[in-house]
Amino acid sequence: MSFSCPHFCPDEDHCLRLKTDCVPGRKGCVLEGKAEFAVPAEERVRLLEEAKRQAAAEALARGEMPPPVRSRRGS
């Protein structure tokens, strides 16, 4: 099965509906409660946020500006 979401902005892997990262099935997503995922959405959101924090910390350690933080809505 495939799914193409009209709210997905492929240039940035961004959700235009939630104004944050696209994590299918997350709170507020059009798929919330309508599909089963091998890894729960809450866990994928947690892993994504952890990876972003790690990338920001590594950028700071290199003396670079960390990537901008987008607004977060839901989880």
Between 2 and 62, CB nearer to ligand SF4: 2
How far apart (Å, rounded) are the C-alpha atoms in residues 5 and 69?
23
Q: Which CB, 31 or 56, lies closer to ligand SF4?
A: 31
CB of 67 to ligand SF4, least distance (A): 19
72 vs 2, 19, 22, 42, CA distance in Å?
27, 7, 11, 14
Chain positions 20 to 49 lying near ligand SF4, rule: CB under 6 A, are 22-24, 26, 29-31
- Judged by CB under 6 A, how many residues of this single chain contact ligand SF4? 13
52 sits near ligand SF4 (criterion: CB under 6 A):
no
Q: H or E stretch including 57?
A: helix 41-61
